[in-house]
Structure 1
Amino acid sequence: MKECILKVPSMHDENSSREIINIIKGLIGIEDVDTNYEEGVANVFYDERKTSIDKIVEAVEYKGFKVGSGLDRSSAR
């Protein structure tokens, strides 16, 4: 499993945070999603055999959210 930390500066309240969680959880291969709208970040835990950072970012941006740089790393979660 991998962890991706996405910067989502357009996530500014609980509603947008929930919307981003729902968008990401709707993708195949997503294990878990945590967001912090105050910091504008989403921590995504995913199966790299089933999805990728590019697919996650594409899905979030398709719904109108701007996604900044992300950090991808292995996770023992």
Structure 2
Amino acid sequence: MYGFTGSFIGFPSFAAPGWAHNPGNFAGFWIASVVTLVAAFLLVYFFGYKDADANAAKAAPKKKRLGKTVE
């Protein structure tokens, strides 16, 4: 690997020059991409977003004034 850019946009950075003779770069890219997508999907599916979280009322915490004396 001669450089890295995140996500699938980084696919061209795994192309090795002709003198490198390393065809495993593309295989490593696709294996890592598929494993990452499957792991992310499963983690979100089992532990992630719940509709109840969006419907719950949210309250902002009361502001704290640092350095100000309270009488």
Q: Which of the five TM-score ranges fits, normalised by the shorter chain?
A: under 0.3
Larger radius of gyration: 2
Structure with the largest fraction of helix: 2
Q: Which has the higher contact order (CA 8 A, sep 6+)?
A: 1
Normalised to the residue count of structure 2, the TM-score between the two structures is 0.28
Structure with the largest fraction of strand: 1
Normalised to the residue count of structure 1, the TM-score between the two structures is 0.26
